[in-house]
Structure 1
């Protein structure tokens, strides 16, 4: 389920937007007291793996579930460690956008404000459908 959205230029780096995107996420719970502002776990592919990102996530108290980016000239030593990264959730969200919101996939909108508005409407529609089907 999409918690926050962030749009970048076509030639911009997605990896630089991870930390600002996590800062914009606010997780509300039904418990009394101040709501949490951070997620507990971040799952992404190995393109987002770096020491700087892992350190920044660790400083924020977020557990990174990132597979190690291994260069081809390095040899694997010792027993291989299997890390399962739950990427199904991200791919499912992209599939929802592709199936129901063609305007977002093709990006007919040239104005970034209009595109962000349609992106927010798509996220709201996904959340409403999820609440109606589950609740």
Structure 2
């Protein structure tokens, strides 16, 4: 019987983060929750830096559109960056934010569509088990499976 050396646990880009060991998937979607761009990073990374890379991949827009994000992306420099790119940031403030709170229009709270992105993550992880649990040690393989899952979502929407 041959004994094999066990590989080091984890894999490429797997680190300890806020909720434990793993990776984070960042996604920008349209108003219906359909994915437009995504990136995958280690769980230890700063979410706010990934937003800039994703927004730079989007086409330039001329009029203002709403940009919804969760509290992990809350920073004044991100808000200014999005305004310069003609996006109106709809990012809730963190609980212990150091910046002064600005009163928002109560009508804007009714327009919150961030749940659509969370729904898209739930669809992907429910339909494609390969995405829910990352078994691949190399990040490029797993990103390929995520790309195929995003393409399949678009095909289902377009075909019917």
- TM-score normalised per structure 1: 0.77
How many equivalent pairs are there?
123
Deviation at 1:39, TM superposition (A): 8.5
CA separation of 1:39 and 1:7: change in aligned 2, threshold 3 A: farther
Output the CA distance in 1 between the equivalents of 2:41 and 2:147.
15
Contact 1:43 1:87 in 2 (8 A): yes
- Corresponding position of 2:47: 14
- Corresponding position of 1:3: 36
Contact 1:40 1:63 in 2 (8 A): yes
Superposition RMSD on alpha carbons, in Å?
A: 3.0
Q: Is there any run of 5+ residues in structure 2 with no aligned partner, and where?
A: 1-33
1:48 is aligned, of 73, 77, 95, to 73
CA separation of 1:107 and 1:39: change in aligned 2, threshold 3 A: farther
CA separation of 1:43 and 1:59: change in aligned 2, threshold 3 A: same
Contact 1:42 1:62 in 2 (8 A): yes
- Corresponding position of 1:61: 86
Deviation at 1:50, TM superposition (A): 1.2
Q: Deviations over 1:29-48 (max 9, x none)?
A: xxxxxx85998321011221
Contact 1:25 1:38 in 2 (8 A): no
- Corresponding position of 1:98: 125
Contact 2:131 2:142 in 1 (8 A): yes
